[in-house]
Chain A
């Protein structure tokens, strides 16, 4: 009887651990966001800047952004109607408020319901996570600005912002 109980306990803990590992919950802040892909998104959204994972902003933010591409952070990034529509649908489907990923959920939770940020760097999640990084560090030539995630998070384009992968360049 005692052996049976021990076995059950062992099984429960193994499955609980693997579930945690699978969800990325063992690491602080959650593991990598799920791999998502869309050829047009990958090509169009990375020609001027790094490719931002859709899980970094809620659906309303992406929709607003995609409707203002003619004035995209001061630049004209207009797309033809079909491409614009396809990318919007892809971003919406994989946005922070549609993700089961812990980091995406936290980003979403850090944004007040009445605000629609277009800059990831303006979300409270971002500012809290980067409060120890000085403005001067972000301005380093090797980084450029806070919007260049990939300068320090080498797998940022894959949605991986794990603490263990951070390396701040000189």
Chain B
């Protein structure tokens, strides 16, 4: 009895950090509407383009999301320091986009590394939509 109470308690406390990708998209949608009143929804197609488009970084190297994550988000990627990055696509890695703080941490870092600026809510939403569209 006590054990089950503990488990319920733990589950409830995790709820604050955990999210579903759909909840995450809702939050980005609210932000995107604030950023642009003409917000017209998220597009998996735009997300795919965003993911693969290379840009010239000020350090002289060409980078995109796919540089580290590979062109197929169902594959494992590799960091520049040779460490495996688990796949981004929830179809093969269901843990993706279920922890808001983690998602925000990595958008925060990687947008600056690739784009040398923060990503907009539109870009984040398109990206998540693309990942969710992969079968």
Interface residues of A (CB under 8 A from B): 46-50, 70, 74-78, 80, 144-145, 147-148
Q: Beyond the given A49-B83, A74-B59, could you list 16 further A-B residue pairs with CB under 8 A, ordered by the A residue number?
A: A46-B83, A48-B80, A50-B81, A50-B83, A70-B112, A75-B80, A76-B108, A76-B109, A76-B110, A76-B112, A78-B109, A80-B105, A144-B81, A144-B82, A145-B81, A148-B82
Most chain A Cβ neighbours within 10 Å, of B79, B82, B112: B82
- Of chain A, the residue at the smallest CB distance from B80 is A75
| Contact status A75-B113, CB under 8 Å | yes
| Contact status A47-B113, CB under 8 Å | no
CB contacts (< 8 Å) of A75 on chain B: these are 80, 109, 113
In angstroms, Cα B79 to Cα A77, docked, is: 12
A-B contact count (CB 8 A): 35
In angstroms, Cα B105 to Cα A70, docked, is: 12
CB contacts (< 8 Å) of A144 on chain B: these are 81-82
Most chain B Cβ neighbours within 10 Å, of A48, A70, A148: A48
CB contacts (< 8 Å) of A77 on chain B: these are 109
1/0 contact string of B81-116 vs chain A (CB within 8 Å): 111000000000000000000000100111011000
In angstroms, Cα B109 to Cα A49, docked, is: 15
CB contacts (< 8 Å) of B112 on chain A: these are 70, 76
Most chain A Cβ neighbours within 10 Å, of B59, B80, B108, B109: B109
Mind listing 23 A-B residue pairs with CB under 8 Å?
A: A47-B83, A48-B79, A48-B81, A48-B83, A49-B79, A49-B83, A50-B81, A74-B59, A74-B80, A75-B80, A75-B109, A76-B108, A76-B109, A76-B110, A76-B112, A76-B113, A78-B108, A80-B105, A144-B82, A145-B81, A145-B82, A147-B81, A148-B82
Give the shortest distance, in Å, between A56 (CB) and chain B (any CB). Answer: 15
- Of chain B, the residue at the smallest CB distance from A72 is B109
CB contacts (< 8 Å) of B79 on chain A: these are 47-49
CB contacts (< 8 Å) of A70 on chain B: these are 112
In angstroms, Cα B109 to Cα A76, docked, is: 5
In angstroms, Cα B115 to Cα A76, docked, is: 12
CB contacts (< 8 Å) of B81 on chain A: these are 48-50, 144-145, 147-148
Closest 9 interchain pairs by CB?
A: A49-B81, A144-B82, A76-B109, A76-B112, A48-B79, A76-B113, A48-B81, A148-B82, A75-B113
In angstroms, Cα B103 to Cα A38, docked, is: 22
CB contacts (< 8 Å) of B80 on chain A: these are 48, 74-75
In angstroms, Cα B113 to Cα A80, docked, is: 17
CB contacts (< 8 Å) of B82 on chain A: these are 49, 144-145, 148
- Of chain B, the residue at the smallest CB distance from A83 is B105
In angstroms, Cα B109 to Cα A145, docked, is: 23
Give the shortest distance, in Å, between B85 (CB) and chain A (any CB). Answer: 9
- Of chain B, the residue at the smallest CB distance from A44 is B105
